[in-house]
A and B are shown apart, each in its own frame.
Chain A
């Protein structure tokens, strides 16, 4: 059924009225029960030329809403849907999702999970072919779309050869080729390195510049998305619309409300809010680093608190005697490629080391080698690795778990039992710890990570955040000297990422050496005591966050970017403030001073 199009130019490309979705949750007897409604009664419209940003805390139904725009909910994902959804003049409830492909195009979070064919060109042709367009038209559209995203030269390549950012731009090209005027992007940059994020948004801006298309964007990384968006719709935890309006009006003027809802704000806005609380008059609130710079230059600033006592002095020479990890001239080849190239690294006891670099720079490989997850063949490797005095490639597993714990990118990979408490007890039992002590230590960790009420559940049935906490718990229950985490914030929302990094900071304060692989530069700036930058398997920078994260040239060459706060502060006139890279460096709230 086609609704009348009163006006091609201004009538909404997408219109939701009172959308309410309750997912079908399967029961053991084959039936289902209904989940809590999320989203719940949402009105939303996307007009041509508009980028609408959808925000809200975890579980508020953002992704569900995105899937409802072309009917994947409820046609492919079982759910009870009430309210109206109209896209491109179609009543979505009455239309099978494939028939809407010419009106609504989607880009999903996982670049791997949307590649269907074996070449870049075939991939872009896939949707127009499904819609039975003539071959000449398919090719013309594909060429046009690939040129727009800068991938025409790579049309013969297997999509798997593209970087993560390249594959998301390919997904964008697929959306363009099908000619849909509405693009729905569900956290398109969550898995990308900073370079990939920047490329993606640059491409998106060029695509929307003509003003014909509309975009519904679900995104956590506001530092990247704020420039691209025109309007914001914010959902609360119950899936209802909390507030809506132009980007600046909502993010700047209602920042306190958003923070209260658990919605992440741009880093620079958070920084300005803190400064305001400390008595620095900043108005209006800035949304970008450049705006923060301008706002701070306009006022008299109190002294920053850089160099807290818990922070080791910058560029402390690594003391070889105290090194808990030492990597010595490590070179590793895999499949004819040098994955690690002459890497030497000593990690001092008590460091919180961040290993950063673009996708494919060798970060994960290095972390896995240090933790003994990857045991390279002798022929493929040169150099040596020691962790807590052990050789991680030959050591007995029982000794190894006492020296180093590893937390995998996907927590499910490391679960080996059917119950949460068995999962924690497993490592201790393997080491022959007496039963009484096992029980005590398991209870301690369950309690500490807030998992006590879930102890008899199957690990696979936990929520994403709970799985992540359990995987960290299984690694630290054996009390290793070193904890290694592989992109622990990958694919997680900001709230969970912060929760996890607070946990790591607490462990670090207790004396655990932590190595974390990440490309979230602001989180690295906040928490790390040392940063090592890898590019193409080589160490290209190594030092304190203040020094490494301030070096634009090195970061850009490694596919990374300076984190937003540092970008704002280093252009400041006051030299004392140029070293501020962490929110913790900002002056504390005035109230706290009065209390003290």
Chain B
């Protein structure tokens, strides 16, 4: 079998749903080390098997670091001061006291979030919408009408973006709610709703007629040209995810005890 080292060649369900137990465990952790190890592990898998462009990998790594920094400070400020009264006072900003305990709580929250993000990216960056829908219909027996209708709806998104841009320009040159400030901005946005919806509904009706005319929904099943296999290698990947998660937990516990 080829492409063992390519995450893209595995069953999308394993990549998207496989890490879920690990995610659930990560949510329950309170230390920094366990989620940090999980995040590093997931990033290593992405880097080694994701076949991503170096620029994308760099953006993920950079984004994770920035997210950690921002969340550590903002969550640190929001932590209940009573909980961290005994820890060292690092700085005083006005009436705010920044204590080391608060920062530690913030850091733990931040690293948990990053770990979750990395686990989602494992499937998210290596699976297309169409592949996921195929796997959902073939392995989980999701009715294909639901899956393919969702895919068709996804194709509306860029069209809506373009349409919104045009409507925005149109309303601006007509002088709708000019000026600055949140109230005006809300009024402006509210004005886009009706034309956007009217256009969207009409478009959706046309697409649905075109799909009906092309036999969508003629039979309870449809041919899948591309079979999405669920083989031994997928089971191996699934078990590896879990084993990797468990290894992180054990390693973190050992380091903490020692």
CB within 8 Å of B: which residues of A? 67, 70, 72, 75-77, 96-99, 101-102, 104-106, 108, 110, 112-118, 122, 125-135, 138-139, 160, 174, 178, 368, 371-375, 397-398, 400-401, 406, 408, 410, 412-416, 426-427, 430-431, 460, 474
Contact = CB atoms under 8 A, between A and B. Distances in A.
14 contacts: A102-B215, A113-B210, A114-B206, A116-B152, A116-B155, A126-B216, A131-B215, A132-B218, A132-B222, A133-B223, A134-B223, A372-B173, A412-B195, A413-B195
A130 B174 contact: no
Interface stretch (B59-67, B75-83, B163-171, B234-242): B163-171
A110 B210 CA distance: 10
A261 to B, nearest CB: 28
B233 interface: no
Contact of A135 (B194, B219, B225): B225
A99 B171 contact: no
Interface centre among B129, B163, B219 (most CB of A within 10 A): B219
A67 B212 CA distance: 11
B203 interface: yes
A426 to B, nearest CB: 7
A474 B155 CA distance: 33
A98 B198 contact: no
B170 A130 contact: no
B255 to A, nearest CB: 46
Using C-beta atoms within 8 Å of the partner chain, give the interface range for chain B.
35 or more
Contacts of A72: 209, 212-213
Interface in B110-148: 128-130, 148
A129 B222 contact: yes
A130 B219 contact: yes
Nearest to A115: B155
Contacts of A406: 170, 173
B170 A408 contact: yes
Nearest to B176: A416
A427 to B, nearest CB: 6
Given A368-B169, A460-B198, A117 B151 contact: yes
Contact of A430 (B148, B175, B207): B175
B167 A413 contact: yes
A374 B218 contact: no
Given A114-B210, A427-B174, A129 B217 contact: no
A224 B212 CA distance: 29
Given A133-B223, A372-B173, A413 B166 contact: yes
B225 A401 contact: no
B30 to A, nearest CB: 43
Contacts of B211: 116
Contacts of B171: 414, 416
B159 A112 contact: yes
Nearest to B149: A116
Given A134-B223, A138-B225, A116 B215 contact: no
A398 B163 CA distance: 24
Contact of B148 (A105, A116, A178, A410): A116
A280 to B, nearest CB: 46
Contact of A101 (B169, B174, B195, B218): B218
Contact of B169 (A134, A374, A416): A374
A459 to B, nearest CB: 10
Nearest to B191: A416
Given A129-B223, A129-B225, A401 B175 contact: yes
A114 B159 CA distance: 13
B199 interface: yes
B87 interface: no
Contacts of A374: 169
B223 A76 contact: no
Contacts of B129: 118
A178 B212 CA distance: 13
Nearest to A409: B166
Given A98-B215, A126-B214, A474-B174, A116 B221 contact: no
A116 B225 contact: no
